[in-house]
Amino acid sequence: MRFCIDLHNHSCLSPCGSDVMLPSILAMEASDKGIDILALTDHNCARNLGPFAEACEIIGITGVFGIEVNTVEEIHVLALFETLSQALEFGKWVESILPKIKNSPRLFGKQYVCDVAGNYIEEVDIFLYGQANVSFDNLIELIIGQGGLAIPAHIDRPSNSVTANLGFLPRLPYSAVESIIVPPIVETYDYTVIQGSDAHYMEHIGRRRCYIEAQTGNFAGLKEAFLKNDISFMN
Amino acid sequence: MISIEQLFSHLGYKKFSEGDLQKTITTGYTSDLLSDVMGNADEGSVLITIQAHKNTIAVASLVGMPAIILCNGRTPTEDMIGAAKEEGIAILATSESQFTASYKVAKLLALV
């Protein structure tokens, strides 16, 4: 069966994410756009995944629990997990290795944790866009070792991408690589290529969703489709 | 110590944002990792980098850097220029490398 996926999205927790990007709104809008499997991937933090899980459950779409980690090389990597508890655990670890820099909401934006109803319940003090003290190679290994999906983000972007920051794509066991433009304008060898919306604002939701061919519309289905490299794109 | 105006006139690089002409430059910091800039650069430095995007302005503003020199022919994005104007940060751009720009700034500041 064919399922629509979008595995790169931010909420009001990411400093650069719109304050009205509530996890529940993301899930609702994504569902309206026909997305079957949706991930929330805030920068270096898992604290909005709880309400996101609740919202996905209520709406009836498959939630994937992610974090967009910023490595020591300032490369963005999507770490995606099947269960909320795995992702929360991983998120705690990522926060523990962030530089202890206080966020400046004026310069970078606010970092809101909210509940499923959309009430802000906490503002995160530590700057979430900082670089986690883990190397790109080690991070990929760690995510895969924990049964997650490791996906270098926007590999064709001139900043914060593996291609821009290292100059090449090291041969590592990625689950897939995410490209803004398909077919990619950078070398991707035989890795599975996906697109993701990298939504920071409401109007971004679903802008780069793509499709997998799999037996089930869940995490196992994602793994299956990535292994088979069975992906298709919007146009 | 030099003024922003001296920085413009002596280097002859292309100007994308005027910055705050009252401010002075005391030293420089050369880096392409913004987290490194955030952690180690001194207030009053000119930032020499290839990171030609909006986040660079936020980091420069946080640290208190009055000017940024973009190297290797990189040009600032529109939103970077907008943010620089709002924050009063000067942007200069050159086809020269970070090495050459750093040397010129250091010479101008009589640090070499």
- The domain spanning residue B17 has which CATH number? 3.40.1390.20
Instruction: Indicate the residue of B33, B53, B58 with minimum beta-carbon distance to A107.
Output: B58
Q: Which domain does A140 fall in, by range?
A: 2-233
> Residue A154: how many CB atoms within 10 A of its CB?
25
Give this prediction's pTM: 0.92
- Whether residue A104 and residue B39 make contact (CB cut-off 8 A), yes or no, is no
Its ipTM equals: 0.79
- Return the residue in A14, A111, A129 with the most chain B beta carbons within 10 A, the one to mutate for interface testing: A129
Domain range for residue B101?
A: 2-108
Phi, psi of A41 (to 5 degrees): -135, 75
Supply the CATH number for residue A198's domain.
Answer: 3.20.20.140
How far is C-alpha A207 from the chain's CA centre?
A: 15
Q: What is the pLDDT of residues A27-77, one digit of tens each?
A: 999 999 999 999 999 999 999 999 999 999 999 999 999 999 999 999 999
**Number of domains comprising chain A:** 1
- What are the φ/ψ torsions at residue A69 (nearest 5 degrees)? -90, 140
Matching residue, tokens 């700034």 = B105
Interface test with B, best of A97, A103, A131 (most B CBs within 10 A): A131
B35: chain A residues, CB-CB within 8 Å: 74, 99, 130-131
Is A107 close to B62, i.e. CB distance below 8 A? yes
Q: What is the pLDDT of residues B28-50, one digit of tens each?
A: 999 999 988 998 999 999 999 99
Number of domains present in the structure of chain B: 1
Nearest to A104 among B34, B55, B62 (CB): B62
A235 pLDDT band (50/70/90 cuts)? Answer: confident
Lowest mean pLDDT among A37-41, B51-55, B60-64: B51-55
CA distance B54 to B78: 9
